[in-house]
Amino acid sequence: MTQHTKPAGVLLLLAILLLSLNLRPAIAAIGPLIQSISHDAGVRSVGISLLTTIPVLMMGLGAIYAARIRQALGERGGITAGSALIAVACLMRLWADDRNGLFLSAALVGLGIAVIQALLPGFIKRNFGARTSSVIALYSTGIVAGAAIGSGTASWLEDQLGWLSTLASWSLPAALATVFWLLASLGSQHEGRSNVQAAARSVPFWRIGRCWSLLLFFGIGTGAFMLAMAWISPFYIGLGLGKATAGLLLSVLTVVEALTALWLSFAIGRFPDRRGLLLTSLLLVAAGFLLLIVAPLLAPYFAVSLLGVGIGILFPLSIIVAMDHLKDPTLAGNFTAFVQGGGFIIASLVPLTAGSLRDVFNDLSYIWLLMSIASLGMLVLAVRFSPASYQQFQQDLAELQAGELKPA
């Protein structure tokens, strides 16, 4: 059942941050370990891409069924289960020394992440109200910071522990986050398990064009994030840079992303109209990918920093803009899940496409170009996301609900 006593805000914020820190390391650590995984497990570029694609695809499928997950597990219980599953899946990698074990653990990691990402935005809106945008930005900061830590420590940990233990080591922080979450969320407001049929509360979001534009926007932004995380290090190793330098470039990218997202968590209140930030982020992402094509070795740290700033704004803002469209926490959570579901499925194809192109052409320039074009194309959508359009969206949705929904 839903509880009405608010928890200590700082502890709940810390719990959300700890959860978010564990949502990307199991994926981000793959890139710096590609050589060892390829050699020891016999996995080629497409297979390596699947280790990123499978979790992201699972995130998309989990988001699509967010309403049913909320109904079956409740928000607090579902988030707990998702975090625990990440811990178990990471621990499994101690024995995942072939492609089948790696693919299975990737699917379980993705499922755990999917459950958390499907339920946490609605939980945040329910508990933080007017501060939702700032907390979502902090949550996104944790995601990119976790990616930075996962990628930045992978090579060093591999030298100390081996690549299997490096991947498995993320089970410990995931387990700690699970325990802390259980304690910190005791007095939180959350939607519990429900016997009401999910279909009775479903909303046909797909009937409104704005839903699809937000879905596409989130997919491109997340695809850029996943692509950079998976292939920046291998790209620069292929250009002749050492493993340590290539890993450092990825670390710079993810640290810049994290710092930018952290800045956004404090500054987002000064931008009620998000379009200026959206346009800036898209231009920076396009410029970063283009620089990787025309002059990757001229100023590599500048190129990855451009990507870091652009993605650091774009990734959290694509969630925030979706949340802006609705006020009801459960409805906003389901809507965000719809946007993330389709968006993650789109994003899952990006690293897979990169791996396929690399196997065929031995070159990643084609995927950099495709992402540059896609980012510039998103400018057409971004200019339409005005605060006034949120009101029109709510009106369209209310009319649609009145005509389409069955009575509860």
Compute how many other C-beta atoms are within 10 angstroms of the C-beta atom of residue 22: 30
Average pLDDT over residues 316-323: 85
Q: Are 22 and 86 contacting, i.e. CB atoms less than 8 angstroms apart?
A: yes
**Angle subtended by helix axes 209-238 and 365-382, to nearest 10:** 150
Report the pLDDT value the prediction gives residue 324, as an integer from 0 to 100: 84
Residue type, 362: N
Lowest mean pLDDT among 174-178, 216-220, 362-366, 395-399: 395-399
Model confidence band, residue 190 (pLDDT cutoffs 50, 70, 90)? low
Compute CA 264 distance to the chain's CA centroid, rounded to the nearest angstrom: 16
Model confidence band, residue 83 (pLDDT cutoffs 50, 70, 90)? very high
CATH number attached to the domain at 9-188+204-400: 1.20.1250.20
pLDDT tens by residue, 23-34: 999 988 887 787
CB-based burial of residue 5 (10 Å sphere; 0-12 exposed, 13-18 middle, 19+ buried)? exposed
Cβ-proximal residues to 365 (8 Å cutoff; 6+ apart), any chain: 292, 293
Cβ-proximal residues to 395 (8 Å cutoff; 6+ apart), any chain: none
Model confidence band, residue 284 (pLDDT cutoffs 50, 70, 90)? very high
pTM, full prediction: 0.77
Model confidence band, residue 292 (pLDDT cutoffs 50, 70, 90)? very high
Q: Which residues of 272-289 are buried (b: 16+ CB within 10 A; e: fewer)?
A: eebeebbeebbebbbbbb
Position with higher pLDDT, 317 vs 151: 317
Cβ-proximal residues to 36 (8 Å cutoff; 6+ apart), any chain: 158, 163
Report the pLDDT value the prediction gives residue 406, as an integer from 0 to 100: 44
Q: Are 372 and 289 contacting, i.e. CB atoms less than 8 angstroms apart?
A: yes
In angstroms, the CA 127 to CA 294 distance is 47
Model confidence band, residue 374 (pLDDT cutoffs 50, 70, 90)? very high
Residue 21 tokens, joined? 């820190």
Q: Given a cut of 50, is residue 383 above it in pLDDT?
A: yes
Report the pLDDT value the prediction gives residue 194, as an integer from 0 to 100: 57
Q: Given a cut of 70, is residue 310 above it in pLDDT?
A: yes
Q: Are 203 and 397 contacting, i.e. CB atoms less than 8 angstroms apart?
A: yes
Q: Are 251 and 152 contacting, i.e. CB atoms less than 8 angstroms apart?
A: yes
